[in-house]
A = this chain, B = another copy of it.
């Protein structure tokens, strides 16, 4: 790994001098850290969002169709197609959370489960990871179990339909794409 900066001068963690927790904000708890630049010694204030880990599931039914959820999203202001997923509860194992979210949001259970690893949603300000799971051969066995604040429709897409939905922008959530990229070759402009 050739480099303009030698390894013994590589970027290293910054010392946190002070942490100011803010009021919880539904999805996160913001925090402002006062940090020390390791080379210049200057201090800076940096925003951190303390965020619980998330999980999502590439679920395929017995016919190989991908099981997606269609819903209105408050950030983008658009209706999206996404993988089932959500926040991991306190103390819950991420594999259990994946099975729970798949069941609640789509009514699908069972199948062969494979862990696909995890990503950092955004290490610049989020503290969390998102875990990706693959469930193959799952079946609709339960009624949906949605919160009163959710309005979700289950959609089954074969691979060609899923690729079309990625190409036309209905599937555009970054964490959906990082999970799908572990199962499908997604090369080319979307």
Chain A interface (Cβ < 8 Å from any Cβ of B): 1-5, 9-14, 25-27, 30, 33, 35, 37-40, 42, 44-49, 70-80, 107, 114-127, 129-130, 140, 148-149, 151-157, 161, 172-175, 177-178, 181-190
Contact = CB atoms under 8 A, between A and B. Distances in A.
Q: State how many copies of this chain the complex holds.
A: 2
13 contacts: A2-B156, A3-B154, A5-B153, A11-B152, A13-B72, A13-B77, A25-B47, A33-B74, A44-B149, A75-B122, A76-B123, A119-B172, A120-B173
B161 A121 contact: no
A97 to B, nearest CB: 16
Contacts of A37: 148-149, 151
A116 B46 contact: no
